[in-house]
Chain A
Amino acid sequence: DTAVSQTPKYLVTQMGNDKSIKCEQNLGHDTMYWYKQDSKKFLKIMFSYNNKELIINETVPNRFSPKSPDKAHLNLHINSLELGDSAVYFCASSRFTSGTGELFFGEGSRLTVL
Protein backbone atom coordinates (compact mmCIF):
# COMPACT_ATOMS: atom_id res chain seq x y z
CA ASP A 1 0.00 0.00 0.00
CA THR A 2 1.25 3.44 -0.89
CA ALA A 3 1.86 5.45 2.28
CA VAL A 4 1.52 8.93 0.78
CA SER A 5 -0.28 9.11 -2.53
CA GLN A 6 -0.89 12.16 -4.65
CA THR A 7 -2.80 12.64 -7.87
CA PRO A 8 -2.39 13.45 -10.63
CA LYS A 9 1.24 12.53 -11.32
CA TYR A 10 1.36 14.79 -14.36
CA LEU A 11 -0.63 17.93 -15.06
CA VAL A 12 -0.32 20.04 -18.20
CA THR A 13 -2.48 23.12 -18.43
CA GLN A 14 -2.75 26.60 -19.89
CA MET A 15 -1.95 29.85 -18.10
CA GLY A 16 -4.89 31.26 -16.24
CA ASN A 17 -6.52 27.91 -15.51
CA ASP A 18 -7.32 26.58 -12.03
CA LYS A 19 -6.11 23.14 -10.99
CA SER A 20 -6.01 20.92 -7.92
CA ILE A 21 -3.63 18.27 -6.64
CA LYS A 22 -4.88 15.76 -4.11
CA CYS A 23 -2.90 14.04 -1.38
CA GLU A 24 -3.77 11.25 1.01
CA GLN A 25 -1.70 9.48 3.63
CA ASN A 26 -2.60 6.18 5.29
CA LEU A 27 0.10 6.32 7.96
CA GLY A 28 -2.04 7.88 10.65
CA HIS A 29 0.27 10.90 10.79
CA ASP A 30 -0.86 14.16 12.32
CA THR A 31 1.13 16.52 10.12
CA MET A 32 1.07 16.99 6.35
CA TYR A 33 3.05 19.29 4.08
CA TRP A 34 3.24 20.65 0.57
CA TYR A 35 6.68 21.25 -0.95
CA LYS A 36 7.61 22.75 -4.31
CA GLN A 37 10.69 21.46 -6.14
CA ASP A 38 12.00 23.73 -8.88
CA SER A 39 14.04 22.86 -11.95
CA LYS A 40 17.26 23.09 -9.90
CA LYS A 41 15.86 20.52 -7.46
CA PHE A 42 15.54 23.04 -4.65
CA LEU A 43 12.78 21.95 -2.27
CA LYS A 44 10.82 24.70 -0.59
CA ILE A 45 8.12 24.27 2.05
CA MET A 46 4.82 25.83 1.09
CA PHE A 47 2.35 24.74 3.74
CA SER A 48 2.15 22.56 6.80
CA TYR A 49 -1.01 21.29 8.48
CA ASN A 50 -1.38 19.59 11.84
CA ASN A 51 -4.67 17.84 12.50
CA LYS A 52 -6.40 19.90 9.79
CA GLU A 53 -5.02 23.20 11.13
CA LEU A 54 -2.55 25.37 9.24
CA ILE A 55 0.73 25.75 11.12
CA ILE A 56 3.14 26.91 8.41
CA ASN A 57 2.25 29.17 5.55
CA GLU A 58 5.40 30.28 3.82
CA THR A 59 5.41 33.22 1.49
CA VAL A 60 3.49 31.80 -1.40
CA PRO A 61 1.01 33.67 -3.58
CA ASN A 62 -2.54 33.55 -2.30
CA ARG A 63 -3.45 31.85 -5.57
CA PHE A 64 -2.32 28.71 -3.75
CA SER A 65 -4.87 27.46 -1.24
CA PRO A 66 -4.45 24.26 0.75
CA LYS A 67 -7.50 22.41 2.01
CA SER A 68 -7.51 19.69 4.63
CA PRO A 69 -10.90 17.96 4.97
CA ASP A 70 -9.44 15.56 7.54
CA LYS A 71 -6.01 14.77 8.90
CA ALA A 72 -5.39 12.11 6.25
CA HIS A 73 -5.92 14.48 3.33
CA LEU A 74 -4.27 17.71 2.24
CA ASN A 75 -5.22 19.04 -1.16
CA LEU A 76 -3.64 21.94 -3.02
CA HIS A 77 -5.71 24.20 -5.20
CA ILE A 78 -4.05 26.69 -7.52
CA ASN A 79 -5.93 29.55 -9.15
CA SER A 80 -4.93 31.57 -12.21
CA LEU A 81 -1.90 29.45 -13.03
CA GLU A 82 1.26 31.23 -14.19
CA LEU A 83 4.29 30.00 -16.13
CA GLY A 84 6.42 30.22 -12.98
CA ASP A 85 4.17 27.74 -11.21
CA SER A 86 5.66 24.97 -13.35
CA ALA A 87 7.43 22.64 -10.92
CA VAL A 88 7.08 19.33 -9.15
CA TYR A 89 4.85 19.51 -6.09
CA PHE A 90 5.38 17.02 -3.30
CA CYS A 91 3.06 16.12 -0.51
CA ALA A 92 4.65 14.76 2.66
CA SER A 93 3.59 13.67 6.12
CA SER A 94 5.24 13.17 9.48
CA ARG A 95 4.16 11.63 12.72
CA PHE A 96 5.22 14.57 14.84
CA THR A 97 5.04 18.30 14.44
CA SER A 98 8.21 18.66 16.48
CA GLY A 99 10.56 17.79 13.64
CA THR A 100 12.06 14.88 15.52
CA GLY A 101 10.73 12.38 13.00
CA GLU A 102 11.21 11.80 9.34
CA LEU A 103 9.17 13.01 6.41
CA PHE A 104 7.35 10.56 4.16
CA PHE A 105 6.97 11.91 0.64
CA GLY A 106 4.55 11.18 -2.15
CA GLU A 107 5.82 10.52 -5.65
CA GLY A 108 5.28 14.09 -6.78
CA SER A 109 2.96 15.86 -9.20
CA ARG A 110 4.70 17.49 -12.14
CA LEU A 111 2.82 20.63 -13.16
CA THR A 112 3.56 22.19 -16.53
CA VAL A 113 1.95 25.52 -17.34
CA LEU A 114 1.97 26.48 -21.02
Chain B
Amino acid sequence: SQQGEEDPQALSIQEGENATMNCSYKTSINNLQWYRQNSGRGLVHLILIRSNEREKHSGRLRVTLDTSKKSSSLLITASRAADTASYFCATVDTGNQFYFGTGTSLTVIP
Protein backbone atom coordinates (compact mmCIF):
# COMPACT_ATOMS: atom_id res chain seq x y z
CA SER B 1 0.00 0.00 0.00
CA GLN B 2 1.20 3.53 -0.71
CA GLN B 3 -0.67 5.10 2.15
CA GLY B 4 1.11 6.72 5.06
CA GLU B 5 0.82 5.03 8.41
CA GLU B 6 0.49 7.11 11.54
CA ASP B 7 1.72 6.01 14.91
CA PRO B 8 0.35 5.85 17.54
CA GLN B 9 -3.25 5.22 16.54
CA ALA B 10 -4.40 6.98 19.70
CA LEU B 11 -2.71 9.33 22.13
CA SER B 12 -4.01 10.81 25.36
CA ILE B 13 -2.11 13.55 27.19
CA GLN B 14 -2.64 16.25 29.80
CA GLU B 15 -3.09 19.85 28.77
CA GLY B 16 0.27 21.60 28.60
CA GLU B 17 2.19 18.48 27.59
CA ASN B 18 3.72 17.97 24.18
CA ALA B 19 2.19 15.55 21.69
CA THR B 20 4.28 13.70 19.13
CA MET B 21 2.88 11.61 16.32
CA ASN B 22 4.74 9.83 13.57
CA CYS B 23 4.12 8.96 9.96
CA SER B 24 5.89 6.35 7.87
CA TYR B 25 5.54 5.87 4.14
CA LYS B 26 6.89 3.65 1.39
CA THR B 27 7.29 5.58 -1.86
CA SER B 28 9.36 8.55 -2.98
CA ILE B 29 7.58 11.78 -2.23
CA ASN B 30 7.25 15.28 -3.62
CA ASN B 31 6.10 16.60 -0.26
CA LEU B 32 4.37 15.50 2.93
CA GLN B 33 1.46 17.30 4.53
CA TRP B 34 -0.25 17.12 7.90
CA TYR B 35 -3.98 17.65 8.35
CA ARG B 36 -6.27 17.89 11.33
CA GLN B 37 -9.84 16.59 11.51
CA ASN B 38 -12.18 17.53 14.33
CA SER B 39 -14.96 15.06 15.05
CA GLY B 40 -17.65 15.24 12.39
CA ARG B 41 -15.79 17.85 10.34
CA GLY B 42 -13.65 18.03 7.24
CA LEU B 43 -9.86 17.90 7.19
CA VAL B 44 -7.94 21.12 7.61
CA HIS B 45 -4.41 21.60 6.29
CA LEU B 46 -1.80 22.32 8.97
CA ILE B 47 1.62 22.28 7.36
CA LEU B 48 3.50 21.14 4.25
CA ILE B 49 7.11 20.01 4.18
CA ARG B 50 8.94 19.48 0.89
CA SER B 51 11.16 16.49 0.24
CA ASN B 52 14.30 18.66 0.37
CA GLU B 53 13.37 20.13 3.76
CA ARG B 54 14.19 18.53 7.09
CA GLU B 55 12.25 20.63 9.56
CA LYS B 56 9.49 23.20 9.52
CA HIS B 57 7.72 25.23 12.19
CA SER B 58 4.32 26.86 12.34
CA GLY B 59 3.23 28.31 15.66
CA ARG B 60 3.12 25.42 18.16
CA LEU B 61 3.66 22.88 15.38
CA ARG B 62 7.00 21.39 14.44
CA VAL B 63 7.33 18.92 11.60
CA THR B 64 10.39 16.89 10.74
CA LEU B 65 11.05 14.80 7.66
CA ASP B 66 13.63 12.07 7.21
CA THR B 67 13.48 10.86 3.62
CA SER B 68 16.18 8.24 4.22
CA LYS B 69 13.93 6.58 6.79
CA LYS B 70 10.74 7.55 4.94
CA SER B 71 9.27 9.03 8.07
CA SER B 72 7.92 12.28 9.45
CA SER B 73 6.89 13.49 12.86
CA LEU B 74 4.46 16.15 14.02
CA LEU B 75 5.09 17.75 17.40
CA ILE B 76 2.44 19.91 19.04
CA THR B 77 3.90 21.83 21.95
CA ALA B 78 2.03 23.06 25.02
CA SER B 79 -1.12 21.20 24.01
CA ARG B 80 -4.58 22.57 24.68
CA ALA B 81 -7.94 20.87 25.04
CA ALA B 82 -8.88 22.43 21.70
CA ASP B 83 -6.12 20.40 20.02
CA THR B 84 -8.23 17.27 20.54
CA ALA B 85 -8.73 15.89 17.03
CA SER B 86 -7.46 13.30 14.57
CA TYR B 87 -4.24 14.11 12.78
CA PHE B 88 -3.41 12.71 9.35
CA CYS B 89 -0.29 12.72 7.28
CA ALA B 90 -0.66 12.84 3.53
CA THR B 91 2.18 11.90 1.24
CA VAL B 92 2.27 13.38 -2.23
CA ASP B 93 4.21 11.12 -4.54
CA THR B 94 6.24 12.05 -7.59
CA GLY B 95 3.13 11.38 -9.67
CA ASN B 96 1.41 14.13 -7.62
CA GLN B 97 -1.10 11.83 -6.01
CA PHE B 98 -2.14 12.26 -2.37
CA TYR B 99 -2.18 9.29 -0.02
CA PHE B 100 -3.65 9.55 3.47
CA GLY B 101 -3.23 7.25 6.45
CA THR B 102 -5.79 6.36 9.09
CA GLY B 103 -4.66 9.07 11.45
CA THR B 104 -3.70 9.51 15.08
CA SER B 105 -6.53 10.30 17.45
CA LEU B 106 -5.28 12.86 19.98
CA THR B 107 -7.13 13.55 23.22
CA VAL B 108 -5.93 16.44 25.38
CA ILE B 109 -7.30 16.24 28.89
CA PRO B 110 -7.97 19.62 30.54
Interchain CB contact under 8 A, B98 and A45 = yes
Q: Is the interface of A mostly helix, strand, loop or mixed?
A: loop
Partner among B42, B98, B101 whose Cβ is within 8 Å of the Cβ of A106: B42
- A interface residues, how many (CB within 8 angstroms): 22
**Stretch binding the partner chain, chosen from B43-51, B56-64, B69-77:** B43-51
Q: How far, in whole Å, are A41 and B88 apart by their CA atoms in the complex?
A: 10
A-B CB pair tally, cutoff 8 Å: 55
- Chain B hits for A103, CB < 8 A: 33, 35, 43, 45, 90, 98
B43:A90 contact, CB within 8 angstroms? yes
Complex alpha-carbon distance, A4 and B43, angstroms: 11
- Let me know if A102 and B96 touch, CB within 8 A: no
A19 to B101, CA, bound (A): 28
Question: Least Cβ distance of A95 to chain B in Å?
Answer: 12
* A15-43 vs B, Cβ < 8 Å mask (1 yes, 0 no): 00000000000000000000100001111
Distance in angstroms between the alpha carbons of A44 and B103 in the assembled complex: 13
Q: Which residues of A contact B (CB under 8 A)?
A: 4, 35, 40-45, 56, 90, 92, 97-100, 102-108
Chain B positions within 8 Å of A107 at CB level: 41-42
Q: A99-B31, A99-B92, A100-B31 are in contact. Are A43 and B42 (CB under 8 A)?
A: no
